Amino acid sequence: MRIFDGDELLIATHNKGKAREISALLSDYVAHFSTAADHDLPEPEETGETFAENAILKAQAAAQATGKICLSDDSGLDVSALNGDPGIYSARWGGPEKDFNLAMKKVHEALGDNPDRSAAFICVLAIGWPDGHSEVFEGRVEGDIIWPMRGEKGFGYDPVFVPKGYDVTFAEMDPAEKHAISHRAMAFDLLVTQCFKK
C-alpha cells in the first residue's frame, strides 16, 4: 500500500455535492485541496464496467493531466429488484441536465409495485499518482428506496434512500449524521487508515 505523502490533493470530481462531502471527510488529513474545476480539467468519459475501473480512470486522467496526486470517487445506487441498476450509470440516469428528480422518478417507476425495495449506495475511491500507481477503497451502505422523495439536504438520490435502522432519508439527515454511516465515509475510513499518515 502506497502512503500519501504530498501536501496537496486534487479532488478529481465535477460533482459539487461529492466535492463538499470529500473535503469535509478529509479536512483533518490534508493541508491543501484543489478541485477539477480549479485546474479546468475536462470530464473524462467513464468507459469502465465497474465502479473501481471508473474510479481509477478518473484519478489517473487527472493525475496525468496535472502531475498531481489525485483522488476520485465513483459511486452509485444499486437497487436489488433492478438487478443493480442504476449502478455505474447512476449519474447518467439524470440525463444531460443531471436532473436527479428525473433519475429518482425513473427508479420509482422501474420498481413499480415490486415489494423488494432494498438497495445499497456504493462508493469506490481511487487515489492516483502521476507515475500510474493507484490504490482503491470501497464502502457500502444498505437501505431501502422510499417514495415520495423526502428531504432537502445531501445530493443525488439521497431523498429516496433510507439507510437500514433509520426512518429518515439521507436528505433529511444533517451532514454529520450522513457522514457517520455513509458509503463514502466507510470508503474514507479505509483510505485514511491505510494510506494517510496520522
Q: Which residues are catalytically annotated?
A: 74
Cβ pair 168, 174 in contact under 8 A: no
Per CB under 6 A, contacts with ligand ITT among 169-198 are: 170, 182, 184
Q: What is the dihedral of CA 129, 26, 135, 126, to 10 degrees?
A: -80
3-state helix, strand, coil in the chain (%, to 5): 35, 25, 40
Specify the stretch interacting with ligand ITT by CB under 6 A; choose among 13-21, 63-71, 111-119, 131-139.
13-21
Task: Check residue 13 for interaction with ligand ITT (CB under 6 A).
Answer: yes
Of 128, 94, 95, 163, which is closest to residue 11 (Cα–Cα)?
Answer: 128
Our CB check for ligand ITT shows the closer of 4 and 188 to be: 188
Which of 4, 10, 18, 172 touches ligand ITT (CB under 6 A)?
18
Handedness of CA 71, 77, 82, 83 (dihedral sign): positive
Which of 33, 147, 155, 196 touches ligand ITT (CB under 6 A)?
155
Which of 158, 173, 186, 192 touches ligand ITT (CB under 6 A)?
158
Which of 69, 91, 111, 125 touches ligand ITT (CB under 6 A)?
91
